[in-house]
Amino acid sequence: MRVLLTGGAGFIGSHTALCLLEAGHEIVALDNLSNSSPEALKRVEELTGKKATLVVGDCTVEADVENAFAAFGPFDAVVHFAGFKAVGESVSMPLEYYRNNLDATLVLCKVMEKHGCRSLVFSSSATVYGTNPVMPLREDYPTGCTNPYGWTKWINERILTDYCFASKDMSVVLLRYFNPIGAHESGRIGEDPSGVPNNLMPYICQVASGKLEKLRVFGDDYDTPDGTGVRDFIHVCDLAYGHLKALEYAVSHKGCEVVNLGTGEGYSVLQLLHAFEKVNNMTIPYVVTPRRPGDIATCYADPTKAHTLLGWQASHTLEDMCRDAWNWQKHNPNGYQGDEIK
Ligand code: NAD
Ligand code: UD1
């Protein structure tokens, strides 16, 4: 397959690029580098010994997407990662989020149609389950969101479902990711958040490296076994492999499917923290603070459909995730900007 990865220089995109190249496919990334570095794909090339073409362009700009298709197509399929993803920022900048995350999809679909590319895999999120209290979360459960970022995913799912219904030759897989963490085992590509991280694992890694003083555990009074939030953490390489399986499915079927990508296991914030300490042989200072507004107690997937429909299941353990996240952070204390410590 020859696959276009929008947002392919980002965290999940670069790991998926590597996974697809290793499986013998060709990839082209279209990314405006608003939240990523070209260095990620350079390293993917070094790791695989294969070409990972980067086209710098904006998915909301039709001429940029058209250029990618005209100059580097034809593509058998597209994985659409490109989008803004910071929940807090989306609350203060809703218009930017709706514009970027929705325009990108609309423009992409138009150009795909023009070029006869009929298979699409879309990055959705478990955030579309909103405050649904019934666990594990299954794809047919009611949805609803609590912030603009979540609504952009929800509306994108709606748009793509309706588009697929209207275009019978179209194939879409909507992947609802749970909490991707970790990094490639080489330690050469990983998550490179700008500024102070919002998410748990990058924050722990920066405490471990001494850049941040201590972790704030947001609440220990939830209705969970140890009182801290429970999440379905999934290794980014398992997630990347899920895209390969979703692409194989998309190019050989028609219609729209929504699929959870999670492990099906929930671990608490403190369980993750202690697993990190144990596997990396260090102590992470932390303090319990009040709950973070908008957080829910528990969120984990029912991954049955991914297994039955795509033949996919996660294989990495929580310990693998903690080891690989730290291995990346240790060798790249300043992400892709700074020197790599061999
Ligand atoms: P990321 O920010 O590392 O990657 C997104 C990439 O898209 C970046 O490289 C950015 O430069 C690019 N981009 C943004 N807007 C663009 C535009 N208009 N045109 C071209 N490129 C653009 O994020 P990620 O963690 O790799 O997430 C990838 C996708 O998965 C996103 O859509 C995100 O919302 C979704 N997702 C992520 C998570 C997570 O925890 N990381 C969870 C659920 C869903
Ligand atoms: C967040 C997003 C979600 C997105 C997901 C994956 C919010 C509200 N939701 O999910 O839309 O799909 O990331 O990127 O931001 N925690 C701490 N201390 C910290 C950071 C986090 O205790 O410094 C706790 C949180 O309270 C939560 C857990 O760790 O219980 C996981 O948090 P986080 O990594 O931010 O992911 P989510 O909030 O689950």
What was the pLDDT predicted at 341?
A: 87
Integer Rg of the chain from CA: 19
> For ligand 2, atom 14, which residue shows the shortest CA distance?
179
Say if CB 118 and CB 90 are below 8 A apart: no
What was the pLDDT predicted at 339?
A: 83
Query: Annotated catalytic residue: which of 149, 163, 249, 267?
Result: 149
> For ligand 2, atom 29, which residue shows the shortest CA distance?
200
Q: Which of 156, 271, 295 to mutate for ligand 2's pocket (most ligand atoms within 8 Å of CB)?
A: 295
Q: What is the pTM of this model?
A: 0.98
The rounded Å distance from CA 270 to ligand 2 centre is 13
The rounded Å distance from CA 156 to ligand 2 centre is 22
pLDDT in tens, 54-107: 999 999 999 999 999 999 999 999 999 999 999 999 999 999 999 999 999 999
Ligand 1 pocket residue status of 224, Cβ below 6 Å: no
pLDDT in tens, 247-284: 999 999 999 999 999 999 999 999 999 999 999 999 99
Nearest ligand to the C-alpha atom of residue 13: 1
> Would you say residue 342 has pLDDT above 90?
no
Ligand 1 pocket residue status of 36, Cβ below 6 Å: yes
In angstroms, the CA 31 to CA 13 distance is 10
In angstroms, the CA 156 to CA 6 distance is 15
What was the pLDDT predicted at 109?
A: 98
Burial of 338 (0-12, 13-18, 19+ CB in 10 A): exposed
Say if CB 232 and CB 299 are below 8 A apart: yes
The rounded Å distance from CA 6 to ligand 1 centre is 9
Residue with tokens 């704030």: 216
Q: Which of 310, 296, 219, 227 is nearest to 261 (CA)?
A: 310
Average pLDDT score over the chain: 97
pLDDT in tens, 276-316: 999 999 999 999 999 999 899 999 999 999 999 999 999 99
In angstroms, the CA 79 to CA 164 distance is 16
In angstroms, the CA 324 to CA 185 distance is 6
> For ligand 2, atom 19, which residue shows the shortest CA distance?
200
Ligand 2 pocket residue status of 125, Cβ below 6 Å: yes
Burial of 182 (0-12, 13-18, 19+ CB in 10 A): buried
Say if CB 242 and CB 176 are below 8 A apart: no
Residue with tokens 């890694």: 205
Ligand 1 pocket residue status of 59, Cβ below 6 Å: yes
Please give the full DSSP string across 65-130, using - where no structure is assigned.
Answer: HHHHHHHH---SEEEE--S---HHHHHH-HHHHHHHHHHHHHHHHHHHHHTT--EEEEEEEGGGGT
| N-term to C-term CA, the chain | 34
What was the pLDDT predicted at 143?
A: 97
The rounded Å distance from CA 269 to ligand 2 centre is 10
Ligand 2 pocket residue status of 269, Cβ below 6 Å: yes
Which numbered atom of ligand 1 lies nearest the CA of 126?
A: 43
Nearest ligand to the C-alpha atom of residue 202: 2
Burial of 188 (0-12, 13-18, 19+ CB in 10 A): buried
Nearest ligand to the C-alpha atom of residue 239: 1
Task: Indicate if the alpha-carbon torsion angle 279, 285, 289, 294 is positive or negative.
Answer: negative
> What integer is the mean pLDDT of 40-57?
98
In angstroms, the CA 78 to CA 289 distance is 42
Ligand 2 pocket residue status of 12, Cβ below 6 Å: no
Say if CB 147 and CB 97 are below 8 A apart: no
What was the pLDDT predicted at 338?
A: 81
> Would you say residue 8 has pLDDT above 90?
yes
Residue 149 falls in the annotated catalytic set: yes
Say if CB 112 and CB 120 are below 8 A apart: yes
For residue 38, what are the CA distances in angstroms to 11, 82, 187, 204, 336?
A: 12, 15, 17, 25, 9
The rounded Å distance from CA 280 to ligand 1 centre is 28
Nearest ligand to the C-alpha atom of residue 226: 2
What was the pLDDT predicted at 138?
A: 98
In angstroms, the CA 12 to CA 7 distance is 9
As a whole-number percent, the residues of the chain with pLDDT over 70 amount to 100
Which numbered atom of ligand 1 lies nearest the CA of 127?
A: 43
- Six-digit token pair at 185? 């085992």
The rounded Å distance from CA 179 to ligand 2 centre is 8
Q: How far is CA 70 from the centre of its chain?
A: 27
Q: Which of 111, 121, 83 is nearest to 99 (CA)?
A: 83
